[in-house]
């Protein structure tokens, strides 16, 4: 790979993004100035939050401008260093976006440290998605032995760890995902106590059957019809860490028709706790514990994870669009070089 | 008053209750058996939660059965005692319902203790409504100096204390209520930093103008259009103690049309905390502090309150129905004898 590529936002999507909302741009590989490092991206992480960055709307982060490089975290190799702390061949991670190379000051980079686990885990189970699961459960969910924990998108990088952490706390873990293949994986590999296919017509009934004692923790990363199925089952004092709502990201749709009233009334009548969060707010207090706890569990295979790796930066838009409708199976990564 | 009266649920309301949903029953005054006290009700407290008890629906409490006495807390006088701990003339409070007299074991009664404040305060600022405000703010709202606190139904017993407690914490207090008379009271007597008339066409704009730095605590006891006006103004990390939703109690209506999606997305994007609660869950940890803190503040007039007293138990249904549409002005009480 001798030329540089980057993917920019060509236009703002209305509803589900299409390939026309993205544009591939190519050019010469940049050079590192003094104090900079030249990076070659090895893996780009694709995550649902990126959909929000494509909107021109107020959120916890500013949107990507039209013509701006799509945001995203990568694992990259230092090709050339003009900074005293780095040298050729170092593996780093950072939010440099959807591009093959970048010449940057290393201020916002950190070395990949996965304790002997594969470098890709720095973008998944030992990275932002893993920490989202870990901190949301530790700070907000707080599952207790014998309680029932439900999570959707449960074969994905956040959900799969939520379920396994729930079981490590002595709770029952119920996973929801789309299709028999993901459900089989959750049952056979991740060892969820029960699995629910959200594409099945009887999803609400199947969920109710799997939760005879109700739901004590619902880790919310989906919303829409799954939230509606969860709502009547939530026990008094249930906790709802909410880090994402992939069913709502593409704007008005079936999810938009849901009644606010039933959710609010349930919150009040059952003393529910809902707390939106983004993993970064818990970094100072919990990131060191996360790495200390998780690295050995991942290394010995006690915590399992699955990656869905697509080759080539040019395929990132299509893979990203597919992820928003659940076509990925495991942590979605683009192998860039 | 020589005869006994009680008010029972004649039928379940659909939507707003009407007088036909209630029935007055009369009969001879009961006699106290051994171990019982005969009570004569002095004041009956009418509160929005009672609307929920009229439904045949799962909540934190069981519904009143058809033909059952409407639930409610009273301040009552002991007319005759066949229990060693009580004697004639003692003032007690307890949940004996909408009736003029009751012969009961005193297990669930307690003596009225208001530290020299009027006995009616035991049902208002120094009772359940006051403790709802106090515990919701102390445990969930946690206002800090300089923050902005918004509360609706702000001339009522919960809202008026929420605003005054916010100011005692050094926060700005913004009160919302219906009509110029209530707004004048909140501004001139309660000294809210700003008041908003929710009946004004420009309510959302007026609220936004009064909250130039956004909202840090919204004490939710109303829901509906007020929640929709509050939602866009909530700052990151805002806290929402939610103890009631009077706009939703009468079932589907304008409130039912509101979008769940916008609420859930705001929760996630701004790391909001919403916690439903009922005051009873905080009694063990906070009730003693509440009484110790509030009694002197009420006695010296630093904490103000207002009562709306209606004469005669037979007028309770009409007063209750009026309260659900905001016709009361202050803590609503029925003077029974």
> Out of B255, B270, B275, whose CB is closest to A261?
B255
pLDDT for B27-46, tens place per residue? 999 999 999 999 999 999 99
Measured distance CA(A233)–CA(B125) in Å, rounded: 35
Q: Do B267 and A260 lie within an 8 Å CB cutoff?
A: no
Nearest-neighbour CA in chain A from B61: distance (Å) = 9
- Give the DSSP letter string of A52-118: HHTSSS-SSSPPPPTTSBPP--EEEEEEEE-STT--TT-EEEE---SBSEEEE-GGG-EE---TTS-
Q: Do B276 and A281 lie within an 8 Å CB cutoff?
A: no
Query: Any idea which fold B4-124+306-335 has?
Result: Quinone Oxidoreductase; Chain A, domain 1 (3.90.180)
Mean pLDDT of B127-156: 94
> Out of B236, B260, B270, whose CB is closest to A260?
B260
Measured distance CA(B129)–CA(B64) in Å, rounded: 21
CATH number of A128-280: 3.40.50.720
**For residues A176 and A223, is the Cβ–Cβ distance under 8 A?**
no
Measured distance CA(B52)–CA(B243) in Å, rounded: 13
What are B176's strand-pairing partners?
B196
Mean pLDDT of A247-255: 63
DSSP state of B220: B
Which residues from A are below 8 Å from B when comparing CB atoms?
Answer: 52, 58-60, 220, 223, 227, 236, 242-245, 248, 252, 255-256, 258-261, 263-278, 281
**Chain B partners of A236 at a C-beta cutoff of 8 Å?**
60
β-sheet with A215-219: strand ranges across: A194-197, A172-177, A148-151, A215-219, A234-242, A273-276, B273-276, B234-242, B215-219, B148-151, B172-177, B194-197
Q: Considering only CA atoms, which of A235, A329, A218 is closest in space to residue A275?
A: A218
Mean pLDDT of B188-212: 96
Mean pLDDT of B299-318: 94
Evaluate if residue A93 carries a pLDDT over 50.
yes
Q: Do A59 and B269 lie within an 8 Å CB cutoff?
A: yes
Measured distance CA(B256)–CA(A258) in Å, rounded: 9
**Which of B214, B268, B272 to probe by mutation at the A interface, max A CB count within 10 Å?**
B268
Mean pLDDT of B152-158: 94
- Residue B26 burial (CB count, 10 A): 10
Measured distance CA(A24)–CA(B311) in Å, rounded: 77
Burial status of residue B335 (CB atoms within 10 A of its CB: 0-12, 13-18, 19 or more): middle
> Out of B252, B259, B276, whose CB is closest to A271?
B276
pLDDT for B129-139, tens place per residue? 999 999 999 99
Q: Do A269 and B223 lie within an 8 Å CB cutoff?
A: no
Q: What is the pLDDT of residue A247?
A: 77
Measured distance CA(B241)–CA(B262) in Å, rounded: 19
**Which of A276, A277, A283 to probe by mutation at the B interface, max B CB count within 10 Å?**
A276
> Out of B243, B267, B271, whose CB is closest to A268?
B243
Banded model confidence at residue B336, pLDDT cuts 50, 70, 90: very high
Q: Considering only CA atoms, which of B244, B5, B275, B300 is closest in space to residue B128?
A: B244
Q: Is B114 helix (H, G, I), strand (E, B) or coil?
A: coil
**For residues B255 and B222, is the Cβ–Cβ distance under 8 A?**
no
| Sequence-ordered list of residues with C-beta below 8 angstroms from that of A201, at least 6 positions apart, any chain | none
pLDDT for B241-256, tens place per residue? 988 888 777 765 544 4
More confident residue, B259 or A225: A225
Question: Which residue of A lies nearest to B49 if distances are taken between CA atoms?
Answer: A269
Measured distance CA(A289)–CA(B154) in Å, rounded: 44
Banded model confidence at residue B257, pLDDT cuts 50, 70, 90: low
Mean pLDDT of B183-197: 97
Helix (H) or strand (E) holding B274: strand B273-276
Question: Which residue of B lies nearest to A247 if distances are taken between CA atoms?
Answer: B261
B293: left (phi over 0), alpha (psi -120 to 50) or beta: alpha
Evaluate if residue A216 carries a pLDDT over 80.
yes
Nearest-neighbour CA in chain A from B184: distance (Å) = 30
Q: Do B273 and A269 lie within an 8 Å CB cutoff?
A: no
Chain centroid to CA A263: 25
Measured distance CA(A172)–CA(A27) in Å, rounded: 52
Mean pLDDT of A152-160: 94
Measured distance CA(B45)–CA(A78) in Å, rounded: 72
Measured distance CA(A5)–CA(B228) in Å, rounded: 44
Main-chain dihedrals φ then ψ at residue A248, nearest 5 degrees: -105, -10
More confident residue, A217 or B243: A217
Question: Which residue of B lies nearest to A249 if distances are taken between CA atoms?
Answer: B265
Q: Do B227 and A268 lie within an 8 Å CB cutoff?
A: no
**Which of A247, A260, A270, A282 to probe by mutation at the B interface, max B CB count within 10 Å?**
A260
What percent of chain B has a predicted confidence (pLDDT) above 70?
96
CA angle B278, B281, B285 (to 5 degrees): 130
Q: What is the pLDDT of residue A222?
A: 86
pLDDT for A26-75, tens place per residue? 999 999 999 999 999 999 999 998 998 998 875 556 889 999 999 999 99
Q: Do A274 and B258 lie within an 8 Å CB cutoff?
A: no
Please give the model's pTM, rounded to 2 decimal places: 0.88
Q: How far apart are the first and last CA of chain A?
A: 7
Evaluate if residue B58 carries a pLDDT over 70.
no
What are B110's strand-pairing partners?
B93
Q: What is the pLDDT of residue A250?
A: 72
Q: What is the pLDDT of residue B60?
A: 55
Mean pLDDT of A237-251: 82
Q: Do B276 and A277 lie within an 8 Å CB cutoff?
A: no
Q: Do B256 and A261 lie within an 8 Å CB cutoff?
A: yes
The alpha-helical segments, DSSP class H, found in chain A are: 50-53, 128-135, 157-168, 180-188, 203-210, 224-230, 260-269, 283-299, 316-324
> Out of B264, B270, B276, whose CB is closest to A248?
B264
**Chain A partners of B246 at a C-beta cutoff of 8 Å?**
none
pLDDT for B269-278, tens place per residue? 777 889 988 8
Mean pLDDT for chain A overall: 91
Q: Do B261 and A243 lie within an 8 Å CB cutoff?
A: no
**For residues A3 and A29, is the Cβ–Cβ distance under 8 A?**
yes
More confident residue, B178 or B62: B178
Q: Where are the domains of chain B?
A: 4-124+306-335, 128-280
Evaluate if residue A251 carries a pLDDT over 80.
no
Evaluate if residue B240 carries a pLDDT over 80.
yes
Q: Do B252 and A260 lie within an 8 Å CB cutoff?
A: no
Q: Do B276 and A260 lie within an 8 Å CB cutoff?
A: no
* Strand duo B91-94 + B74-81: pairing: antiparallel
pLDDT for B8-33, tens place per residue? 999 999 889 999 999 999 999 999 99
> Out of A261, A264, A277, whose CB is closest to B271?
A277
CA angle B52, B49, A264 (to 5 degrees): 70
Q: Is A245 helix (H, G, I), strand (E, B) or coil?
A: coil
Q: Do B261 and A281 lie within an 8 Å CB cutoff?
A: no
Residues in chain B: 337
- Residue A3 burial (CB count, 10 A): 10
Evaluate if residue A270 carries a pLDDT over 80.
no
Q: How far apart are the first and last CA of chain B?
A: 7
**Chain B partners of A48 at a C-beta cutoff of 8 Å?**
none
| Sequence-ordered list of residues with C-beta below 8 angstroms from that of A161, at least 6 positions apart, any chain | A125, A129, A130, A133, A134, A303, A305
Q: What is the largest CA-CA distance in chain B?
A: 63
Measured distance CA(B82)–CA(B39) in Å, rounded: 11
**For residues B48 and B323, is the Cβ–Cβ distance under 8 A?**
yes
Lowest pLDDT segment from A66-75, A304-313, B84-93, B248-257: B248-257
**Chain B partners of A275 at a C-beta cutoff of 8 Å?**
267, 271-274
Tally A–B CB contacts below 8 A.
118
* Strand duo B148-151 + B110-111: pairing: unpaired
Measuring CA to CA, how many Å separate B288 from each of A52, B38, B135, B298?
Answer: 47, 28, 11, 16
């Amino acid at each position: 790979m001798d030329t540089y590529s980057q993917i920019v936002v060509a236009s703002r999507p209305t509803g589900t993004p299409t390939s026309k909302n993205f544009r591939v741009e190519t050019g010469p590989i940049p050079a590192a100035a003094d104090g900079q490092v030249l990076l070659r991206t090895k893996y780009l992480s694709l995550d649902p939050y990126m959909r929000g960055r494509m909107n021109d709307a107020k959120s916890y982060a500013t949107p990507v401008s039209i013509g701006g490089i799509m945001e995203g975290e990568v694992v990259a190799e230092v090709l050339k260093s003009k900074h005293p702390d780095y040298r050729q061949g170092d593996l780093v991670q950072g939010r440099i976006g959807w591009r093959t190379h970048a010449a940057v000051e290393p201020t916002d980079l950190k070395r990949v440290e996965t304790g002997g686990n594969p470098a890709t885990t720095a973008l998944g189970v030992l990275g932002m998605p893993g920490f989202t699961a870990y901190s949301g459960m530790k700070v907000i969910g707080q599952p207790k032995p014998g309680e029932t924990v439900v999570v959707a998108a449960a074969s994905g990088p956040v959900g799969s760890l939520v379920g396994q952490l729930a079981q490590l706390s002595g709770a029952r873990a119920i996973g929801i995902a789309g299709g028999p293949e993901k459900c089989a994986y959750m049952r056979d590999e991740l060892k969820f106590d029960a699995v629910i296919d959200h594409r099945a017509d009887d999803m609400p009934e199947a969920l109710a059957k799997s939760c005879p004692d109700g739901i004590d923790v619902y880790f919310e990363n989906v919303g829409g019809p799954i939230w509606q199925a969860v709502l009547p089952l939530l026990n008094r004092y249930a906790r709802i860490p909410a880090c994402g709502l992939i069913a709502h990201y593409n704007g008005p749709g079936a999810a938009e028709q849901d009644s606010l009233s039933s959710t609010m009334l349930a919150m009040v009548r059952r003393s529910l706790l809902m707390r939106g969060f983004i993993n970064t707010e818990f970094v100072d207090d919990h990131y060191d514990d996360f790495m200390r706890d998780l690295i050995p569990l991942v290394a010995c295979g006690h915590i399992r994870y699955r990656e869905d790796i697509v080759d080539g930066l040019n395929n990132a838009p299509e893979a990203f669009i597919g992820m928003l409708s659940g076509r990925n199976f495991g942590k979605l990564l683009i192998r860039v070089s």
